[in-house]
Structures are given as C-alpha cells and as structure tokens.
Structure 1
C-alpha cells in the first residue's frame, strides 16, 4: 500500500537531509494501488464547478478535537516523532518528515497541514452544495487520508491545484498521493475532471 519502507530507505540514503531512522507519516485509510484504480473508475467525470461563493471560512477547520488540541496539533502529533507539547497543546519540539519532498523539520512552524484534496477543489467538485457541518467534517477529517503534515513552502506551492497541475516533488510518492486523492474523492462523492483523471491514472500506474 503506497510507498514501501524499502523505497523510503532508498530515498533517505539518497537525500542528504534525511535520517533513515525516521519513518514517513502514513495517514489512515490509504487504499492499495489496485483498490484506488477501482475507486477512480467509479468517480464521476464532470467539468469543474464555479468558484463563485467560495470562502475558506465555509469549511470551519482546526476545530477542537480533544481538550485543548485542535486538528492541526492532532496531526502534528500523529505525523511527527517524539513530539512534545505545552499546556496549550502547541508542539514545542519534535521531528517531522514531509513525504511530498522528503524534507525533515524540527520546528512545527516549518510544517503545514495539507488538505490533500484542497478545500477550493472540493467546493468546485460538489462541496458547494454541502451543509456547513459537512464541510467542517471534510476539513477536519481524521479518518480518511485527507490531512498530512508537509513542508510549508511545498504546501504553499501546491495551493489549491489538482493533480493535473501539481504533483509531489518525490516521484516515489506518486502512488500514495494519487491513492489518497482518489479515496477522499470517492468517500465524499466528489467529481473529477477529465484532466484530473488522466493525471491520477498516470500516477497510479507507478504503484
């Protein structure tokens, strides 16, 4: 399922800034490559909807998950190694490996929490018709592979782009990334464009 440990060890060996002792984060619910291909075949292909009316505030995110811990802090703890938090649940130390680019970080401020399927993309592929509660659930989903701790500037370069316009810098992560994208779109019954499907098909061919 997704990128293997042996493949990650190869990445670590080739990347001067990584340590082989640190595993890459693995969100829950990532399907196998074959399952992702089947789910992709079941998605509805349609032209992307309008951006009109979109606002990130329509997807309430970083809500309280437990105690003083919000979604961001929950993912930082899930995806990091030896993460220490203060009384407010803010991460004060730890180590994070960004699977998109292989970067390793020891300051939480260098790490963003990526929505694998961006909120804007979701809006244009069906979420504009959802209730606010449904959009909140999507933006804070801890059950499906929709949230991932990654290098901040890599996340910013991705922005709200789909796989037809942006792919992870690490080609070894194509299979996992495409599988996560397909699973999220399948679970939430979101549409995909023809170009999006072609890009996902190409990435899943690397599985």
Structure 2
C-alpha cells in the first residue's frame, strides 16, 4: 500500500495502550521499546515510502501533538515508558518513578534517576509535522505522540535526546553504532505505518544503516 493510501489509516494507540498498562503489573520489564520490524522488512518499507523534499516549516508547535496523555488512573505515557524500559522501577501513588535503573540504547549509558532520562519520540514531532502530520487531525497527532505499540517512544539519556533534537537520520544517528540498525528499522517502521514521507538524504542514510544490519 502506498504512503498516500495509508495516511488515512492512522491508528489509535492511546486506546490500545490500556492493555499495555495492565500487563505492567505482571510482566517483567523488557528494558526496551517494542522490537522493530526486521531489516528485510524495513528495506521493503523504505522502498515504499514517498521521497519528497521537506517544505519550509510553518505552523508547527509541540502543542499540535498533545503528548504524555493519561492512559489509566494517574499514569501518563511518559511514566508508562519509564516503567516499561526500566529495571526495578518503583513508583509512587501518582505513578511517578521514584527509583530504578534505565539503560539508554542510544549511547549505552545506565542511569539511576528518572530525571536523567528523557522519553524520545524516535521520529521527532517536528519531523513528523514536516513529513505529513501537518495535514492530520489533532486526534491523529495525539495518537502518534503517545504511541506505545510501534517503537516510537524510547527512554534515553536526556543530553543525547537534546543533541538529537528534531533531526532525521540524514544528519543524526545514535552515537552507539551497534544500535543504528535497530534505530533505522524502527524509524522506517514508524514512518511506513503513519504514511510519512522521507527526503532523499534521509532515505540514503537509512539505506546505508539497513545495509549494515
């Protein structure tokens, strides 16, 4: 299915995330976001993506993507990802993580305070806006910003997340080179699922990363 046809099929992961939350009480922490598609599948997805120059950014704000939605009780998406990606995570009555450890796959660092960890939107919100999300409804952008089903949300070192900012793989890849294959597979999966476009430099960088998998 071409990207243009998929654009109207944006899922509603916030609703589905209730089931994820229910599993947290019984399942051991997986210390990782959802496993992305295989390299072979990612290469097929990449070939299917529409390649187009990104237009000048206009009208974007993070408020266009309501994020850290309350999923159940007092638990929002950020806190759920901290529990999912961490080890030995303890939370308080407000669902905030008070202790635990978090391994950042972007740089290989381990942290013991939730304040040292950011939840990265793997495909940044601004990048999504530039590559198609500008035309979505607010509900579709909320679903994207809180997607617990695809490998879009990752607990990582805060400084590394800040260095990445809104860059795509054409200008930024994780400093831990052994994670770049996983990162590229996840990036392509998310863009393919949501019918987002890629620019030529981004596609070339992804192709190179996937060829090394």
Using structure 1 for the length normalisation, give the TM-score: 0.87
Contact 1:25 1:99 in 2 (8 A): no
- 2:30 touches 2:84 (CA, 8 Å); kept in 1? no
Among candidates 47, 70, 75, match of residue 41 of structure 1: 47
Deviation at 1:206, TM superposition (A): 1.6
Runs of 4+ in 1 over 4 A off after TM superposition: none
Paired with 1:28 and 1:187, the residues of 2 have a C-alpha distance of 14
Unmatched tracts of structure 1, length 5 or more: 1-22
RMSD: 1.1
Contact 1:112 1:152 in 2 (8 A): yes
Partners of 1:199 and 1:128 lie apart in 2 by 24
Could you say what secondary structure the match of 2:144 adopts?
A: helix
Summarize the alignment of residues 17-166 of structure 1 with structure 2, pairs less than 5 Å apart: 25-166=31-172
C-alpha separation in 1, matches of 2:190 and 2:161: 18
TM-score normalised to structure 2 length: 0.85
Out of 185, 189, 192, which is 1:183 matched to? Answer: 189
What's the offset of the Cα at 1:93? 0.2
Structure 2 gaps of 5+ residues are: 1-28
Q: Give per-residue Cα distances to partners, 1:77-133, cap 9 Å, x unaligned.
A: 000000000000000000000000000000000000000000000000000000000
Paired residues in the alignment total: 185
